[in-house]
A and B are shown apart, each in its own frame.
Chain A
């Protein structure tokens, strides 16, 4: 960056001179991007196998999953955000929540599109809310954090489906699922606030945390009340 700025200065000075004297050699300096591209060449991913690319991205996503599971104030989720993890989690959760066919009158559970819309619109609205309250975090950073923090709830959904498969739905299975969902809901809220709360003014933290709490609470409710149609 410093090189670019240094290169810019003579460019500006030259431009101001153009009208007075024809200082044409200035045009030679316009080739600034070429020098900066030289540095990028080392990181070029054009000629690497597709497998490497996919594995590297998956590793980045998996790395962030670990950060969500052990939320210890690291800024890895914030520094280089991506939306692949949230998409993966959201689609998995929506597919798992899909009960029977959409036509059956018995099944009143949330459909795929409803889960999808609730997760994405919910996180967009929460992000806008935190930006409007004066948060310093960027839009996609916040979306990334909120999306990745669904991970505990997706895991809970998997476990709940297993429980429903093994034990027929009764009071015991309900209590087990209640405990699992409550724990994962607490985990999700705790992890996301650990990442997000620092970006807010102190006297508004509760106002930002409350919508996040509500968001995960609703997702947790959908998971808890899920019952597969026979």
Chain B
């Protein structure tokens, strides 16, 4: 097999050398051809070891497919651009189905095994987080404006600070919580053998997509009515929280009930904390504003010489 590859390689090389004299447009086309020739060879090289591994274990073809892709990823060193391209190997239809899968929990269907399993992507988590950050900042600004509407004393100023605060909160939630969860699950898996285990990227992917329901919810929070806000929080929490719980339940089902319960409670509590924290920090009601204004006045009275730099 190796000799065949080397033979074809030298053939390609000779062809390319001859084509070296051709004008640029033709040379481009030949280089594309060469890529086409090279790719199948790479794949055949990579399928070699997996085929050997699969002979030892008798597994379903679906599982085999699922194992093939991570192996391809391992085949490339992490400093190459192609390695990172594997994390963005999705198309529009897949991203859509993943977003809907994270919003609508259907009974008995696992988000990871149904949508992600073979191919966790970072496109969704990254851009969903970015959208959520700006959605929070913008609708937070609008809600502040609406609360003060009609107040002659009030002059609207954009609060750009909210963007940085929201970015810190959202991105740290979407990366640190999966990291902690992954660390904890790996530790538990070393003690109690579980049938299902997720990789770090899969957990990041689940968390990233689970935030997508918050985007419409946050836009709804513009309406300065506490009832609407709490209703949308509860609805979003029920939907995305249940997806999270149903996804992680199989990994900890075999653990002791107390530990399993604690993990589920922590996951849900952190999810609730994010939503309620964002609402309390970025969205103000009329009463909050009045009290904060009073407090500010008191502070200014108490420390007339101290000036804080608001950047």
Which residues of A does B touch, CB under 8 Å? 1-2, 5-6, 102-111, 114, 129, 131-134, 201, 203-207, 210-211, 214, 217-218, 221-222, 225-227, 229
Among B20, B158, B307, chain A packs the most CB atoms within 10 A around the CB of B158
Stretch of B86-94, B111-119, B243-251, B283-291 contacting A (4+ beta carbons < 8 Å): B86-94
Chain B residue at minimal CB-CB distance from A105:
B310
Alpha-carbon separation in the docked complex, A102 to B311 (Å): 6
Provide the residues of chain B in CB contact with A210, threshold 8 Å: 127
Counting CB contacts under 8 A, is B24 at the interface? yes
By a CB distance below 8 angstroms, the chain A residues around B1 are none
Interface flags for B230-265 (1: CB within 8 Å of A; 0: not) read 000000000000000000000000000000000000
Q: What are 26 A-to-B residue pairs whose CB atoms are below 8 Å?
A: A1-B24, A2-B21, A103-B309, A105-B308, A105-B310, A106-B155, A109-B157, A109-B158, A110-B160, A129-B88, A129-B126, A133-B88, A133-B123, A203-B92, A204-B91, A204-B92, A206-B92, A207-B92, A207-B95, A214-B130, A214-B134, A217-B134, A226-B158, A227-B155, A227-B156, A227-B158
| CB of B216, distance to nearest CB on chain A (Å) | 15
CB distance from A213 to the nearest CB of B (A): 10
Q: In the complex, A214 Cα to B91 Cα: how many Å?
A: 18
- Residue pair A108, B161 in contact (C-beta under 8 Å): yes
Contacts of B159 on A, CB cut-off 8 Å? 108
Q: Does B85 have its Cβ within 8 Å of any Cβ on chain A?
A: yes
Residues of B within 8 A of A106 (CB): 155, 157
In the bound complex, residues from chain A placing their C-beta under 8 Å from that of B20 are 5
Chain B residues within CB distance 8 Å of chain A: 20-21, 23-24, 81, 84-85, 87-88, 90-93, 95, 123, 126-127, 130-131, 134, 138, 141, 155-161, 307-311
CB < 8 Å A-B pair total: 82
Could you say which residues of chain B place their CB within 8 Å of the CB of A131? 81
Shortest distance from the beta carbon of A139 to any chain B beta carbon, whole Å: 11
Chain B nearest CB, measured from A48 CB (Å): 29
Chain B residues with Cβ below 8 Å from A109 are: 157-158, 160
B307 touches A103 (CB 8 A): yes
Besides A106-B155, A207-B91, A227-B157, 19 more A-B contacts (Cβ < 8 Å) are: A2-B21, A102-B309, A103-B309, A108-B158, A111-B311, A129-B123, A132-B84, A132-B87, A133-B123, A204-B90, A207-B123, A214-B127, A214-B130, A218-B134, A221-B134, A225-B141, A226-B158, A227-B158, A229-B157
Question: Which residues of chain A are within 8 angstroms of B84 by Cβ–Cβ distance?
Answer: 132
CA distance A132 to B157 in the complex (A): 38
Closest to A114 in B: B160
Contact residues in B for A227 (Cβ distance below 8 Å): 155-158
A147 to chain B, nearest CB (A): 19
Bound-state Cα–Cα, A203 to B92, Å: 6
In the bound complex, residues from chain B placing their C-beta under 8 Å from that of A211 are 127, 130
Residues of A within 8 A of B127 (CB): 129, 210-211, 214
Question: Measured between alpha carbons, how far is A109 from B310 in the docked complex, in Å?
Answer: 10
Tell me the complex Cα distance, A89–B20, Å. 41
**Which of the listed residues A6, A203, A204, A227 has the most CB atoms from chain B within 10 Å of its own CB?**
A204
Which residues of the other chain, A, contact B130 by a CB distance below 8 angstroms? 211, 214
Measured between beta carbons, the chain B residues less than 8 angstroms from A217 are 134
A225-B93 Cα distance, complex, nearest whole Å:
35
Which B residues are in CB contact (< 8 Å) with A218?
Answer: 134
Complex CA distance for A227 and B160, rounded to whole angstroms:
12
CA distance A217 to B163 in the complex (A): 14
CB-defined contacts of A105 to chain B, threshold 8 Å:
308, 310
Tell me the bound Cα distance from A204 to B90 in angstroms. 8
Which residue from chain B places its CB closest to the CB of A1 in the assembled complex?
B24
Separation in Å of the B137 CB from the closest CB of chain A?
9
> How far is it, in angstroms, between the C-alpha of A128 and the C-alpha of B85 when the chains are bound?
10
Alpha-carbon distance A227/B309, docked complex (angstroms) = 19
Which one of B20, B85, B161 has the greatest number of beta carbons of chain A within 10 Å?
B20
Residues of chain A with a CB closer than 8 A to B91's CB: 201, 203-204, 207
CB nearest neighbor in A for B27: A1
- How many Å from the CB of A148 to the closest CB on chain B? 23
Q: Which residues of chain A are near B141, meaning CB under 8 Å? A: 225
Closest to A230 in B: B155
Residue of B nearest to A128 (CB): B84
CA distance A225 to B158 in the complex (A): 6
Q: With both chains docked as a complex, state the minimum distance between the C-beta of A166 and any C-beta of chain B, in angstroms.
A: 19
